[in-house]
Amino acid sequence: MTSTNQRVIIVGGGLAGLAAAIRVAEAGLPVDLFSMVPVKRSHSVCAQGGINACNEVARQQGYSEYQHFDETIYGGDFLADQGPVLEMANWAPKIIDLLDRMGVPFNRTAEGRRDLRLFGGSLFKRTHFSGATTGQQLLYALDEQVRRFEAEGKVSKYEFWEFLRPILVGQGDQRRCVGIVAQDMRTMQIRPFRADAVVMATGGCGLIFGKSTNSVICTGGAASRCYQAGAWYGNAEMIQVHPTAIPGADKCRLMSESARGEGGRVWVPRKKGDTRRPKDIPENERWYFLEERYPAYGNLVPRDIATREIFDVCVNEGMGIDGQNMVYLDLTHKDPDYLTEKLGGIMEIYEKFVGVDPRYEPMKIFPSVHYSMGGLWTTFTPGAYQPAEPAGKHEPGMIPPVGTEVGQGMAYGAPNNMMTNIAGLYAFGEVNFAYHGATRLGANALLSCIFDGLFNGVSVVNYVREGVPSTQPAESLEAACFDEASSAEQAKYDGLLATVGTNERDEKFNPYVIAREMGEEMTAASTVVKTGPRLEQCLAKLAELRERYARVQLSDSAGWTNQSLSFARAVGDMLILAEVIAKAGLLREESRGSHKRLDFPDRDDERFGKASVAEFDPATGEHRIFWRDVQTNLVKPRPRTYGKVESDQKGKQEPVGSAG
Amino acid sequence: MGNGANSGGRTRNVVFRIKRCDGPGKPSRWEAFRVPVEPNANVISCLNWIAAHPVTMDGRPTTPVVWDSNCLEEVCGACTMVINGRVRQSCSCLIDEYAPNDGDTITLEPMSKFPVVRDLWVDRQRLFEGLKKVKAWAPIDGTYSLGDGPRESPAQQHVRYALSTCMSCGCCLEACPQYLKEEDASKWDTAFVGAAIISQARLFNEHPTGAILKDDRLDALLGVGGINDCGNAQNCVRVCPKDIPLTESIAAIGRAATIHGFKRFFRGA
Amino acid sequence: MTDGQGFLQRHYHLLRRLHSLAGVVPIGAFMIIHLTTNSSVVWGALNGRAHIAESAAGRGIETFQHEVHFINNLPLLLLTEIGVLWLPIAFHAILGVAFALTGSNNVSRYGYQGNKRYALQRLTGYIGFLFIVYHVATLRWGWSFLTPAGTTWSHYYAASTLAAALKGAAGQWSVAGVIVSIGYFIGVSALVFHFANGLWTAAITWGLTISQAAQRRWGYVCSCVGAVLMLAGWSALAGFLFVADYDEAVQIEERMVEQMYGHEYLLELKEKFADRPEIGRSAVRQAATRPYPGPAPLIEE
């Protein structure tokens, strides 16, 4: 039995949220879409390089969906559950086709087919792209489709509404999510919304690190609020630091991996403190350290590796440009018109924000926090492919052990796919911890976000139509639980407002100062390289900040569009998530993917071939971290080296299948 | 990264004169702030500083300035405002360029063509309603697997890609002498849609699937507030941060409207 | 919504396009003819077929007068004027003002050339319309009280009445005449700009020029058209103000009337216009009471 008034709430209007909205609305369920910004301005617009999918050209050169899967698992250092990743890689070509039908202006070949480029972690051209603003283009395509549903009355948008908490009913096995409390960021009205399922598609948490490549709404606040309400948070310590970004005063701006995919070379002068202009430094006096150390992949090693090498060259060896933390990313050997055609978007960003034309002058870049592989913990129903023995490394040209039929990796439509530990509460996109393990490969983020929305949107529909909500729809529940949740948020809001003008303004309790100190501490302690003692120090600092936050002072008592209140409220939630990130990093005593512990330099599959899962104790405000097995029965874990050689070896292999 | 990299030597100050307004229907006022300039500072980093130190130049505590922003890379369109009298994104507005000397002044105002929500934050919902009006989407048959999309020449892709980089920031509308502020949402349907919307209509008319709705789009643009309200001042193309050939879009829709108008006249719709 | 607004809604596109079209044809086309005709007072000096006048300036007057006679002898003149000129101009002007009121100029903030032209297009529209009303009222409808010397238009005395209507009695400068002449200069310039710029925007409106390069090229063409018309307008004005000698003009005009319609008709005409104050005060008028002295002697340079 299906109630006619069942609804689904989607929080977040980036790629994952919009894809989910399309899928759910298409199935005939009304959608309420919440976003802190007009959905067209979501952070997905910042994605530049492209979206990965096996394609005919690569296939005929020996590539396959299965190899895409293998690369993703290998790139993620065997920390991701393998079934969902297999399903995602299998679905990728369909997603590209769908986006193509929606009118995404993918770059084209002379024959009018979709063009492809090389990207990190692969030796095949398998990345589809639209200039260097692929994320923007994909987001717009989905935004347009959602607008179509909106015009038809099937989707209601709540833009400039901030998610405050999920509303839960029941205890133990009966616990489920039946709505959310949200606040209008203009009128400051706080109210509950009922829903039979809630999809969190709220993206990453880069702002915890102060300056990152993330947008200003990427505080992780929404994820933290779910976590505090009882949702588990997985692999928090897995934070991707992108190797190439432009440091700025307000944020670090991404210089897409596609710059290297299109031939960009990373180097520093061989001579320490060489003050010559880059053009005046002859070829043999340049140190192309990535190409030297990784002959096979060269500049296209995965991000964590490139980041650590750049960090090593600058911080440990002091070889950065002018002794600063900068290296060159050089495209000046390429034709300027070619660069405009393929990379126009990022060329423009560099030109606008640095004032130098990267077509003629090498860019100066440094790593920056970019993506959170970790996120709300989610589960899934495994698919049909269950080999007797996990497969070994998949070499180009090998016949894949499994086909691309739907449901091989993850059961299509299973209601629990990408559901958190709270029934009815789903996590899609970056806020979902699945798919990327310990490092995300470039151009897999757009894929995972859209895949989540499209593939698992069906799971949401099935849960609403066939699960508990079909017999106990949210609209039939007593109003009390909704009002209670709403009142709690109202009280919190009133409490924050009441801090205005209570005392002399003190910098220590200024939310912006607290946020800045948190960012600096987290960046220093918990990014490229970590150690146990430093993380413990970080946790102590975070504890201090939390104490100071308890006495936070606001400077705006307005009951209308109170932006600083919204920020201050998020800072409290960010501090909690920061603790999870640091604590999980401290407990994971190994190095894996983006998580590099200097005191535990090797991967330890025995103890930590597992996902870290954090659970919040509302009574004490403490975090309980436990470890859950990862599905590894499809591919056997193997060392992740990307063919690193010692620095005395020379010679670079041509990438396989770079034609086309 | 690089959080601590810019901490050294704050030597220079810039004065920000900001037009503030507490909310719809409230009076506007000017407030001035003295802001220390960090290396690579932009308007956003200065506004961040003001948010953390909301004290005016004459030492009076005030509220943090409210403004709209998101990506800070000039691809989301959120942080558009009027800076020194011209509309642009504040994230890409570098202080070294706008105020190279100590004590230089930068003025910030909200966009004038949209209702102010508070301070520098305006409500651009009308823009998104315009996108609905011209059905700016490709009417696909759902999300099922139905093969790939239509093929497209690189030349055609160039045309569409340029149009598709429009981030609905509203610069073209702010600078347009024909686009006027309209607070009453019920009148948006007959108020000028502006260059951004016309250009989006062209974007979808240029796509084989999108073109299925071409007649609907042209019908919408033939009425009051449509293509004919353009006055050819061509400010739009001058202020567009993405260099979108908006005036070409206007002319192209003009041509399509000419043909469509004749067809409709003789067919009798 | 009133019916008027409903009508506007339903036929908005048609009205806007008719507005655009009217500006080019017939109004613009007429202006080209009109300015060509008027400027013949100057370029007519090169007219080899002028045979009454003896001086170069006189040949200009004769050519101009010839053109005026031709136009005034067209059949159904009034009907043509109403249908092809007055109604289209009224239509273009009323809609133009209505449309112009929907904009708000912002040149002070966005001083781009295109924006200046946008603002000028509206300003010249207003000026041009006022000018046309004055021009037609004084020289067509006979509202002679608005001219400096109360001159009533007569197409038989086209050049001389024009000179008098611009400068003052008997083609002599008066204060009012200076004002009117400056007004004409502004009015004519405004209309020429309005037409040339309108031609440029019409090509965008109708979708003839799409690419920016095409718009630029067409811009050059429109600039040339504008420059030529501006030259024609200014030279016509200069011709009537500074070149044409009033007395000589009257002489030529009367001889042309005599040639075309006979001496009797001329006398009738002179009788009819005897009360024209500016003629009364003119040396020619006084001379006319004396016997006709015959053709003026050739001046040897």
Q: Judge contact between A543 and A503, C-beta under 8 A.
A: no
**CB under 8 Å to C225, separation ≥6 — which residues?**
C196, C199
pLDDT above 50 for A357? yes
Whether B52 and chain A come into contact, CB under 8 Å, resolves to: yes
Least reliable range by pLDDT among A363-372, A439-448, A645-654: A645-654
- Identify the three-state secondary structure at position A372: strand
pLDDT grade for B8, boundaries at 50, 70 and 90: very low
Banded pLDDT at C245 (limits 50, 70, 90):
confident
Q: Which one of A194, A260, A303, A359 is the catalytic residue? A: A303
- A304/A76 Cα distance (integer angstroms): 10
Average pLDDT over residues A236-259: 95
pLDDT value at A368 more than 60: yes
Q: At how many degrees (to 10) do helices C158-167 and C56-72 cross?
A: 100
User: Starting from the edge strand earliest in sequence, which strands make up the sheet with A327-330, in order?
Assistant: A252-254, A239-247, A363-372, A327-330, A265-269, A286-287
Tell me: the pLDDT tens digits for B217-258? 999 999 999 999 999 999 999 999 999 999 999 999 999 999
pLDDT at A428: 98
CB proximity B223 to C under 8 Å? yes
Confidence of residue A3 (pLDDT cuts 50, 70, 90): very low
Contact A91, B145 (CB under 8 A): no
Rounded distance between C-alpha atoms, residue B91 and residue B85, angstroms: 16
Selecting from C102, C121, C204 the residue whose C-beta is nearest the C-beta of B229 gives C102
Sketch out chain B's domains with CATH numbers. 11-121 (3.10.20.30), 124-138+152-267 (1.10.1060.10)
In a 3-state reduction of DSSP, which class is residue B108?
Answer: strand
**Tokens 């509309």, located at residue:** B87
Closest CA to A469 of A426, A427, A423: A423
Phi, psi (degrees; rounded to nearest 5) at A74: -65, -45
Nearest to B234 among C8, C14, C114 (CB): C114
Query: Are the Cβ atoms of C117 and B233 closer than 8 angstroms?
Result: yes
Would you call A610 exposed, middle or buried from its count of C-beta atoms within 10 A (0-12, 13-18, 19+)?
A: middle
| pLDDT tops 80 at residue C19 | yes
pLDDT at A649 over 50: no
**Can you tell me the distance from the alpha carbon of C36 to that of C28, in angstroms, rounded to the nearest whole number?**
12
Contact A505, A555 (CB under 8 A): yes
Residues A298 and A291 sit within 8 Å (Cβ to Cβ): yes
Of A22, A113, A144, the CB nearest to B151: A113
Q: Please list every residue in chain A whose beta carbon sits closer than 8 Å to the beta carbon of residue B165.
A: 131, 133, 136, 345
* Tokens describing residue C224: 């040339």
Q: Residue A601: is the preceding peptide bond cis (ω within 30°)?
A: no
Task: Say how far apart CA C242 and CA C235 lie, in whole Å.
Answer: 10
At residue B4, the pLDDT reads: 38
Kindly indicate the confidence band of residue A653, based on its pLDDT and cuts at 50, 70 and 90.
very low
- Residue closest to A39 by CA, chosen among B242, B167, B201, B72: B167
Write out pLDDT tens, residues A261-312. 999 999 999 999 899 999 999 999 999 999 999 999 999 999 999 999 999 9
**pLDDT above 60 for B126:** yes
Which residues of chain C have a CB within 8 Å of the CB of B171? none
Give the tokens for residue A614: 């954090």
Cβ pair A252, A212 in contact under 8 A: yes
Query: Any CB–CB contact under 8 A between C205 and chain B?
Result: yes
Output the CA–CA distances (angstroms, integers) from residue A4 to A124, A426, A465, A471, B105, in the order listed: 49, 22, 10, 12, 59
Q: Does B190 touch chain A (CB under 8 A)?
A: no
Nearest beta carbon to residue A211 from set B3, B128, B140: B3
pLDDT grade for A543, boundaries at 50, 70 and 90: very high
- By Cβ distance, the residue of A45, A215, A366 closest to B2 is A366
CATH class of the region A480-610: mainly alpha
Would you call B72 and A216 a contact, using CB atoms and an 8 Å cutoff? yes
Structure tokens at A581: 């990130």
- CATH of span A8-238+373-476: 3.50.50.60
The arithmetic mean of pLDDT across residues A142-158, rounded, is 97
Please report the pLDDT score of residue C53 as a whole number.
85
Nearest to C37, CA basis, from C194, C174, C240, C175: C240
Domain ranges of chain A: 8-238+373-476, 242-367, 480-610
- The C-alpha atoms of residue A638 and residue A651 are separated, in whole angstroms, by 25
Looking at residue C295, what is its pLDDT?
A: 58
**How much is the average pLDDT of B90-117?**
96
Please tell me if residue A22 touches chain B, with a CB cutoff of 8 Å.
Answer: yes
Residue A141's beta-bridge partner residues?
Answer: none
Q: Judge: B223–C205 Cβ closer than 8 Å, yes or no.
A: no
Q: Residue B118: which H helix or E strand, with range?
A: strand B116-118
Place of tokens 């003149």: C77
Whether residue B234 and residue C103 make contact (CB cut-off 8 A), yes or no, is no
- Judged by a CB distance cut-off of 8 A, whether residue C109 touches chain B is yes
Neighboring chain C residues of B251 at a CB cutoff of 8 Å: 204, 207, 209-210, 215
**Interface C:B, ≥3 CB–CB pairs < 8 Å:** yes
Say if CB A422 and CB A231 are below 8 A apart: yes
Kindly state the average pLDDT of the residues A538-565: 96
Token pair for A558: 């307005």
CA angle C188, C189, C193 (to 5 degrees): 120
DSSP A106-162: --B-TTSSBPEEE-TT-SSEEEE-STT-HHHHHHHHHHHHHHHHHHTTSEEEEETEE
| Residues of A (179-218) whose Cβ lies below 8 Å from B | 186, 209-211, 215-217
Question: Mean of the per-residue pLDDT values for chain B?
Answer: 94
Domains of chain C: 12-289 (1.20.1300.10)
Please give the DSSP secondary-structure letter assigned to residue A39.
G
Q: What percent of chain C has pLDDT over 90?
A: 57
What digits encode the pLDDT tens for the residues C62-82?
999 999 999 888 889 999 999
Chain A nearest-CA distance from B98, in A, is 13
Residues 6+ away with beta carbon under 8 Å from C110: B86, B175, B235, B238, B239
User: What residues form DSSP beta bridges with A198?
Assistant: A9, A425
Structural tokens at position A267: 């180097």
The closest CB to that of B3, out of A111, A150, A520, belongs to A520
- What does DSSP assign to residue B33? E
Tell me if B80 sits within 8 A of B107, measured CB to CB: no
Number of CB atoms found within 10 A of residue A625's CB:
17
Given CB atoms, is B164 within the 8 Å cutoff of chain A? yes
Per the CB < 8 A criterion, the answer to whether A293 and A340 are in contact is no
pLDDT at A658: 37
Closest CA to B65 of B15, B31, B99, B28: B31
Mean pLDDT of A635-651: 75
**Neighbors of chain C with 3 or more C-beta pairs under 8 Å:** B
Percent of chain C scoring above 70 in pLDDT = 89
Dist CA C167 CA C169 (whole Å) = 7
**Chain B CB contacts of A94 below 8 Å:** 145
State the nearest Cα–Cα gap between C246 and chain B, in angstroms.
45
Mean pLDDT of A383-409: 96
Chain C interface test: which of B221, B235, B238, B250 (most C C-beta within 10 Å): B235
Size of the B and C interface in Cβ pairs below 8 Å: 102
Task: Say how many CB pairs under 8 Å bridge A and B.
Answer: 238
Q: How do residues B19-34 score in pLDDT, each as one tens digit?
A: 999 999 999 999 999 9
> CATH number for the A242-367 domain, one of 3.40.50.261, 3.40.50.2300, 2.130.10.10, 3.90.700.10?
3.90.700.10
Question: Which tens digits make up the pLDDT trace of B190-225?
Answer: 999 999 999 999 999 999 999 999 999 999 999 999
Phi/psi of residue A505, nearest 5 degrees: -65, 130
Establish if A144 touches chain B: CB-CB under 8 angstroms: yes
- In a 13 Å sphere around the CA of B235, the CA atoms on its Cβ side amount to 31
Which residues in chain A have Cβ-Cβ distances shorter than 8 Å to B91?
250
Of all helices (H) and strands (E), which one includes residue A350? helix A336-354
Question: For the segment A460-517, what is each residue's pLDDT rounded down to a tens digit?
Answer: 999 999 999 999 999 999 999 999 999 999 999 999 999 998 777 789 999 999 999 9
Confidence grade of residue A654 (pLDDT, cut at 50, 70, 90):
very low
Q: In the 3-class helix/strand/coil scheme, how is A437-495 assigned residue by residue?
A: CCCCCCCCHHHHHHHHHHHHHHHHHHHHHHCHHHHCCHHHCCCHHHHHHHHHHHHHHHH
Answer whether residue C5 shows pLDDT above 90.
no
Instruction: Give the closest of B237, B248, B254 to C205, CB-based.
Output: B254
A638 is catalytic: no
Q: Is the pLDDT of residue A401 over 50?
A: yes
Is residue B85 packed enough to be buried (19+ CB in 10 Å), middle (13-18) or exposed (0-12)?
Answer: exposed
Q: Are A67 and A86 in contact (CB under 8 A)?
A: no
Which residues in chain B touch residue A217, judged by CB atoms under 8 angstroms apart? 70
User: How far is the CA of A59 from the CAs of A63, A121, A128, A400, in angstroms?
Assistant: 4, 17, 14, 11
Q: For residue B269, what pLDDT is reported?
A: 54
Contacts of C212 in chain B (CB under 8 A): 237, 245, 247-248
pLDDT at C3: 56
A563 Cβ under 8 Å from any chain B Cβ: yes
**Mean pLDDT of the residues in chain C:** 88
Residue B71: closest CA among A93, C267, A216: A216
Chain segment B14-67, per-residue pLDDT in tens: 999 999 999 999 999 999 999 999 888 999 999 999 999 999 999 999 999 999
Q: What's the first-to-final CA gap in chain B, in angstroms? A: 62
> CA A125 → CA A61, A190, A395, A446, distances in Å?
10, 49, 15, 17
Residue for token digits 């025995």?
A606
**What is the per-residue pLDDT across C264-285, written as a single tens digit (0 to 9) for each?**
988 888 887 655 555 544 544 5
Chain A residues in contact with B39 (beta carbon < 8 A): 249
Distance of CA C255 to the CA centre of its chain: 24
Q: Which of A612, A593, A441, A592 is nearest to A69 (CA)?
A: A441
Share of chain B above pLDDT 70, in %: 96
* Residue C60 token pair: 């200009």
